[in-house]
Amino acid sequence: MARARHLLAEAGFPNGFATSLETRRGQTYEDDAIFIENALRNIGVTTKVNLLESAAYFEVSANGDFNMLYTSLATSFNDPDAYYAELWACDSVRNNARYCDPELDALYLKQSSTLDQAERRRLVNELERKMLDSE
């Protein structure tokens, strides 16, 4: 928590800030949103959770009309393509943050077409590191 508070202070928010979190109605979403709200409170971020009916949630997420958005994602198989293509690719319809890095997309496409599993693992690890380091 100390590191998070330090980073907030460095970013110009030494006393934290207030924000909102949009999520869908439903026990799983609501429970997770409460957890996120409490975790953020511990570092000085006051969060108003807005529980939306599904249609309103999808409209808000599609329009980018949110400060923070919570959803969950599950796929029927364990493959990095499913997650990257779904949430991070520049042209993904569920890239709600509108984040786009052509270098990451190129690395994603390269790992996706690599047949050698060891090389693909290396490329996925590189992709993950770059995603975590991106601004």
Say what the pLDDT of residue 71 is: 87
Domain boundaries, the chain: 1-72, 75-135
Say what the pLDDT of residue 45 is: 97
Say what the pLDDT of residue 103 is: 92
Share above pLDDT 70 across residues of the chain, in percent, rounded to a whole number: 96
The torsion angles phi and psi of 74, rounded to 5 degrees, stand at -135, 140
Say what the pLDDT of residue 81 is: 85
Share above pLDDT 90 across residues of the chain, in percent, rounded to a whole number: 70
**Closest C-alpha among 54, 103, 113 to residue 80:** 113
Q: Is the pLDDT of residue 98 over 70?
A: yes
Q: Is the pLDDT of residue 69 over 90?
A: yes
Mean pLDDT along residues 67-85:
81
Q: Is the pLDDT of residue 76 over 70?
A: no
**Closest C-alpha among 63, 68, 134 to residue 103:** 134
Residue range 18-30, pLDDT digits in tens: 999 999 999 999 9
pTM for this structure?
0.69
